[in-house]
Amino acid sequence: MKPSKRSFRGAIGRRGFVRTLMGAAVASPFASLLRPDLARAAGGGARRLLVFYFPDGVAGRSQDGDASLWEARASGGRITLSEQLEPLAGFEDRCVFLNGLQMGSADEGSHPGGAKKLLTNVDGGNGMSLDQFLASSVGRGAPFPHLYLGAQATVNGASGDKFISYPTAGTPTPPEDDPRRAFSRLFDGTVVAPTPGSPTTDPAVELELGRQRSVLDVHLAELADLRTRLGGAERRKLDVHLESLRSVERSLDRTEMPPVPPPTSSSCDDPRLAYDVSDETRFEASVFGRILDAQMDVMVQAMACGLTQVGVIQGGHHTSELIMSRIPGSEMYDPGFDMRSHQASHYGARHDRSNRNFVDYLAQRRWWVGKYRALLERLAAIPEGDGSMLDYTLVLFCTEVSDGNTHSHHDMPFVLAGNAAGTIATGRVMETGGRRHGDLLAALATAMGEPLAGFGWESREALPGLITG
């Protein structure tokens, strides 16, 4: 029986409110002394990084040498989108289309090898991934330094090299695959019982439980050191500030909730998640699109409310058995014919349009690009500063191999959206000349206020020409 559509609602829990308040405290006039790294990022450039991953590559350069059907082209000041990139029509001016980046020859021809290098730029995943690095640096003052959400990424007990986020060298972490649990943890301050099929160990849950201890206690050492460096008048201001925070902390044990400050987004005082997938059906292909949409809603709400600055959305996993022909409303929908993501990616040696696998593969890739556009539309719809959230958020679109049939790690299909408050010139195609993709990762960190001269192996500088402001 089809479940009825419901709207899940939650209010930021009392401890969640204190964490949010502390995040605001970091942005107070004392921020430049307490957290120089955050003050740097707040002064300009990107405020958030959001990685959107899709599996199994694109129709790039074929085995027999057919030209890539992915890369965008620029001529006469205009961008021509490829067939697979067509769903981004109208958003060309908000994107940078990066051609020619490569991830190195190690594990060439391997999905797992590509997934391990994608955000680490280290062979075998033997390094921290960029998202985790930024969560531990510019993002560490947020209530949730890192948010990793998935859509059927843990299906069939998937683990290990199926994931792309590495908190420590060689050890990936699983994403939260259930939008209900993600929403509850972010906005209710509680953790619900794991649903069937979820990982038995969730590092994000453990991290959240550890964060329940007093927020003020965590920051006491920094605050005490800061107090010694302030003059009399500023010290008295800080004392008043601290006392107000302690009053909020003490209120956690009271029946009534203290007044909530004005939200950063119209939905922060009454967050909602429209989600109609039951636990029994959430690993079925027919609901995949709805799960992905829900996770995008959760991520955007969390970022709009200041709960996190660094996030990853992982759609499925590589070598996926996801039957994309069962996704209703999609171009490839055909309930009488099963066509899996990985199956379609092995379309053969040539771009042969008489081959059903190849035709369906093109349709699948356009579907993913359409979902990326939907994410950009969500961000562009929320006002921020003199523009929208998209203007202050770097949104990286990526996959673990270039061509799905050859599994090449060269000519990787990266698209970047968001102009980092004017420090990145969008609306262009950027030919990179075969540079290591770690240069791109270094540039993203630099745009986030964490200047890096390279990231990972064979990367010696932030990608020249990407950051122009």
Confidence of residue 428 (pLDDT cuts 50, 70, 90): very high
* Predicted local distance difference test score (pLDDT) of residue 272: 83
Q: What is the mean pLDDT of residues 291-316?
A: 96
Strand (E) or helix (H) holding 224: helix 215-228
The percentage of the chain sitting over the pLDDT mark of 90, rounded to a whole number, equals: 69
Strand (E) or helix (H) holding 343: helix 341-345
In terms of Cβ atoms closer than 10 Å to its own Cβ (0-12, 13-18, 19+), residue 69 is buried
Q: Which of residues 188 and 173 earns the better pLDDT score?
A: 173
* Predicted local distance difference test score (pLDDT) of residue 186: 93
Question: What mean pLDDT value characterizes the chain?
Answer: 82
* Predicted local distance difference test score (pLDDT) of residue 304: 93
Report the amino acid identity of residue 342.
Answer: H
pLDDT tens profile 326-352? 999 999 999 999 999 999 999 999 999
Sequential DSSP letters for 116-127: HHHTT-SGGG-S
Confidence of residue 259 (pLDDT cuts 50, 70, 90): very low
Q: What is the mean pLDDT of residues 311-332?
A: 96
**pLDDT greater than 70 at residue 251:** no
Cut 0.85: pTM above it: no
DSSP 108: T
Question: How many other C-beta atoms lie within 10 A of the C-beta of residue 309?
Answer: 28
Right CATH for 36-212+273-447 from 3.10.450, 3.40.50, 1.10.357, 3.40.720? 3.40.720
